[in-house]
């Protein structure tokens, strides 16, 4: 079964002329560069056009075309065995036989055009109503076995053995680039569900258990672990969502992705859990953390104590502007969280930041004083001859109130002092292709910085207006940030890659050298055998678990 046929919808209107860019202002050199790269970009964009479609089932698979009565009898017999105190191999064998029968019955239940209730009645079963433990299948746009989901995007398949058939539920949301409710994931919501057919008198009852909340099920006088496939919903989501497929466009045309700038909640906000916020880096999206999340969600202690927030933003903008947006979106999310209940867990927030995302995070939780402002301007803000909009943007970007909720931050391969790669010829050339949003090119933050401040006096090249240029070691924002100490009251950790060369302190992850990723004081610094993709590293995942347990005070 091809679960993505006929292909995934992409943000194809990125091919249209950008309304927010004054094309007449492009230099001949920039026009020439764009013409050189246009065929490549056009091929990339066109290859990504299509419509995402979850798997469907019109006909029962041949392997599941077994009389329902015999399957129900087999499942009922094993249900009785599982209600006893059987142990070891006897219990495992009963579990396997029960799960095999229920899997075939579920194929008969899910396939066809009739309603869920009608299909259930046809095979002599019924469906339990929605509850705190059970999902109503009619509320979903798709519900299918985890076994139909491949394993192309994640390093490892994470499962838990137990009773029941692991499923993926899917509820559609609006595509990337279209409006939806705040904090809602684009494209759709994946659900981790386990199907159980219970024999409790009368017709057998289907329970579609919310596996993220339910660990066990009662069978008679015994308690049994529910089976789970933790990776399938994660894998399926990234096969359906466009965010991870638009990375180059995200950089070159950042204005096209401002609609998606914001915080996404992976589950409805719960005041009883600590937010764990993931902030991605350059040429990236929240999918940078899919393997880290894949390693965390199977852990009961993690599901009990943490909830995941993802921050997404267009990575073509200079990081100081993305930092401003990060603070704004975090304040919105925190205000919403406080409207839902007590904030003691909100105020225990943990942030995990990769690459340029670490600069957004570090600057946003640090009191800037006048460090950023003075790096750009040599007169008081009230004396600048600029519009009120520009004045507001400068104030919000350089003289801001920091975020106070984070209590612990994990830096992953963060260029605290910039990256030499940003000054290389190919990087400078690529930077010139970036078409900044109108807010950064007409009358606001960076226009003010480049026309009024020190940058306008020739102390920094114009290419530093882009995200790539802003990662230069000599960029004013980087120079200002490194004049500011890490804030008190927040515990910091660093996870740094050395490409397996074991040559620290002379090491590099290939993008960021150790002299830039090393920062003090931190509670721990872990060197892992990794390139710049530290969030995908298995040792980094182990270290992240250790840190999150430490935050909870458990071993």
* Residue in 320, 492, 499 with CA at minimum distance from that of residue 411: 492
| Average pLDDT over all residues of the chain | 83
* Residue in 66, 76, 104, 64 with CA at minimum distance from that of residue 203: 76
Does pLDDT of 18 surpass 60? no
Q: Can you state the angle between helices 319-338 and 356-364, rounded to 10 degrees?
A: 60
CA distance 455 to 267: 44
Provide the strand spans (E) within 322-428.
349-354, 406-412
Binned at pLDDT 50, 70 and 90, residue 241 comes out as confident
In tens, the pLDDT along 117-160 reads 999 999 999 999 899 899 999 999 999 999 999 988 899 999 99
Q: What is the mean pLDDT of residues 500-525?
A: 96
Cis peptide preceding 207, ω within 30 of 0: no
Does pLDDT of 2 surpass 80? no
Q: Tell me, what's the pLDDT at 465?
A: 58
Q: Give residues with Cβ within 8 angstroms of 236, minimum separation 6.
A: 3, 54, 149, 168, 170, 190
Q: Tell me, what's the pLDDT at 274?
A: 98
Q: Tell me, what's the pLDDT at 332?
A: 98
Q: Give residues with Cβ within 8 angstroms of 67, minimum separation 6.
A: none
Q: What is the mean pLDDT of residues 456-475?
A: 55
DSSP calls for 94-155:
HHHHHHHHHHHHHHHHHSSSS-HHHHHHHTT-EEPPP-SSB--GGGSSEEEEGGGS--SSSS
Burial of 455 (0-12, 13-18, 19+ CB in 10 A): buried
Q: What would the two tokens of residue 278 be?
A: 């993931």
Sign of CA dihedral 144, 147, 151, 152: negative
Residue found by looking up tokens 């009120």 in the block: 388
In tens, the pLDDT along 192-223 reads 999 999 998 899 999 999 999 999 999 998 99
Percent of all residues in the chain with a pLDDT value above 90, rounded to a whole number: 65
Does pLDDT of 45 surpass 50? no
Q: What is the mean pLDDT of residues 28-53?
A: 43
Binned at pLDDT 50, 70 and 90, residue 469 comes out as low
Q: What would the two tokens of residue 133 be?
A: 């433990």
Q: Tell me, what's the pLDDT at 33?
A: 41
Question: In this structure, are residues 239 and 187 in contact, taking their beta carbons and an 8 Å threshold?
Answer: no
**φ, ψ of residue 514 in degrees (nearest 5):** -60, -35
Q: What is the mean pLDDT of residues 514-518?
A: 97
In tens, the pLDDT along 379-404 reads 899 988 888 888 888 899 999 999 99
Q: Give residues with Cβ within 8 angstroms of 65, minimum separation 6.
A: none
CA distance 145 to 103: 8
Phi/psi zone of residue 360: left (φ > 0), alpha (ψ -120 to 50 degrees), beta?
Answer: alpha
Q: Which DSSP symbol is given to 433?
A: T
* Residue in 542, 511, 544, 503 with CA at minimum distance from that of residue 414: 511
Burial of 23 (0-12, 13-18, 19+ CB in 10 A): exposed
Measured in residues, the chain has a length of 555
Q: How many CB atoms lie within 10 A of CB 165?
A: 25
Question: In this structure, are residues 309 and 265 in contact, taking their beta carbons and an 8 Å threshold?
Answer: yes
Q: Tell me, what's the pLDDT at 4?
A: 34
Measured CA distances, 288 to 48, 153, 354, 537 (Å): 19, 11, 8, 11
CA distance 335 to 376: 32
In tens, the pLDDT along 254-273 reads 455 567 789 999 999 999 99
Q: Which domains does the chain have, with CATH numbers?
A: 62-235 (no CATH), 253-552 (3.40.50.1820)
Q: What is the mean pLDDT of residues 81-99?
A: 89
Q: Give residues with Cβ within 8 angstroms of 262, minimum separation 6.
A: 182, 183, 311, 312, 329, 332
**Which H helix or E strand runs over 292?**
helix 290-296
Q: Tell me, what's the pLDDT at 169?
A: 98
Q: Tell me, what's the pLDDT at 165?
A: 98
Q: What is the mean pLDDT of residues 536-544?
A: 98
Q: Tell me, what's the pLDDT at 470?
A: 61
Question: In this structure, are residues 99 and 163 in contact, taking their beta carbons and an 8 Å threshold?
Answer: yes
Question: In this structure, are residues 364 and 323 in contact, taking their beta carbons and an 8 Å threshold?
Answer: yes
- Is 493 or 21 the better-scoring residue by pLDDT? 493
Measured CA distances, 441 to 29, 435, 444, 447, 462 (Å): 18, 9, 7, 6, 12
- Is 458 or 523 the better-scoring residue by pLDDT? 523
Lowest mean pLDDT across 15-24, 420-429, 476-485? 15-24
- Residue 316, SS3? coil
Burial of 545 (0-12, 13-18, 19+ CB in 10 A): middle
Cis peptide preceding 454, ω within 30 of 0: no
Does pLDDT of 554 surpass 80? yes
Does pLDDT of 42 surpass 60? no
Q: What is the largest CA-CA distance in the chain?
A: 85
CA distance 424 to 469: 10
Torsion (CA) 249, 250, 255, 261 in degrees, nearest 10 = 150
Q: Which DSSP symbol is given to 489?
A: T
Q: What global pTM score does this model have?
A: 0.85
In tens, the pLDDT along 329-375 reads 999 999 999 999 999 999 999 999 999 999 999 999 999 999 999 98
């Amino acid at each position: 079964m091809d679960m993505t046929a006929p292909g995934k919808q992409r943000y194809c209107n990125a091919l249209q002329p950008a309304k927010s860019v004054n094309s007449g202002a492009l230099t001949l050199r920039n026009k020439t560069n764009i013409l050189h790269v246009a065929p490549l970009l056009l091929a990339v964009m066109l290859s990504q056009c299509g419509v995402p479609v979850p798997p469907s089932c019109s006909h029962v698979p041949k392997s599941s075309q077994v009389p329902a009565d015999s399957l129900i009898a087999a499942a009922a017999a094993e249900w009785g065995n599982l209600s006893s105190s059987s142990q070891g191999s006897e219990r495992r064998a009963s579990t396997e036989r029960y799960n095999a029968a229920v899997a075939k019955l579920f194929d008969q239940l899910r396939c066809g055009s009739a309603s869920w209730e009608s299909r259930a009645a046809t095979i002599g079963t019924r469906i339990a109503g929605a509850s705190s433990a059970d999902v109503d299948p009619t509320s979903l746009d798709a519900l299918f076995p985890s076994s139909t989901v491949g394993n192309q995007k994640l390093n490892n398949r994470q499962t838990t053995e137990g009773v029941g058939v692991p499923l993926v539920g899917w509820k559609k949301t609006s595509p990337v680039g279209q409006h939806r409710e705040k904090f809602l994931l684009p494209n759709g919501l994946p659900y981790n569900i386990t199907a159980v057919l219970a024999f409790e008198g009368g017709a057998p009852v289907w329970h579609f258990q919310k596996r993220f909340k339910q660990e066990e099920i009662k069978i008679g006088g015994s308690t049994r672990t529910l089976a789970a496939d933790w990776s399938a919903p994660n894998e399926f989501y990234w096969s359906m969502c466009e965010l991870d497929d638009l990375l180059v466009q995200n950089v070159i045309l950042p204005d096209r992705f401002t609609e998606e700038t914001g915080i996404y909640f992976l589950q409805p906000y719960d005041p009883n859990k600590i937010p764990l916020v993931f902030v991605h880096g350059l040429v990236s999206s929240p999918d940078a953390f899919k393997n880290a999340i894949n390693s965390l969600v199977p852990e009961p202690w993690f599901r009990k104590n943490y909830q995941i927030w993802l921050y997404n933003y267009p990575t073509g903008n200079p990081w100081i502007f993305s930092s401003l947006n990060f603070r704004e979106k975090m304040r919105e999310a925190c205000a919403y969280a406080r409207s839902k209940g007590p904030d003691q867990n909100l105020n225990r927030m943990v942030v995990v930041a990769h690459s340029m995302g670490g600069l957004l995070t570090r600057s946003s939780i640090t009191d800037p004083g006048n460090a950023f402002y003075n790096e750009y301007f040599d007169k008081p803000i009230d004396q600048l001859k600029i519009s009120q909009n520009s004045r507001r943007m400068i104030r919000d970007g350089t003289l801001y109130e920091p975020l106070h909720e984070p209590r612990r931050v994990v830096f992953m391969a963060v260029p605290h002092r910039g990256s030499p790669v940003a000054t290389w010829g190919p990087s400078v050339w690529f930077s010139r292709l970036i078409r900044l949003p109108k807010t950064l090119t007409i009358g606001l933050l960076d226009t003010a910085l480049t026309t009024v401040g020190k940058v306008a006096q020739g102390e920094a090249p114009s290419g530093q207006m882009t995200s790539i240029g802003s990662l230069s070691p000599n960029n004013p924002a980087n120079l200002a940030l490194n004049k500011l100490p890490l804030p008190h009251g927040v515990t910091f950790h660093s996870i740094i890659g050395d490409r397996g060369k074991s040559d620290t302190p002379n090491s590099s992850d290939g993008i960021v050298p150790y002299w830039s990723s090393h920062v003090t004081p931190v509670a721990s610094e872990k060197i892992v055998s990794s390139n710049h993709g530290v969030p995908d590293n298995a040792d980094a995942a182990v270290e992240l678990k250790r840190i999150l347990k430490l935050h909870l005070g458990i071993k």
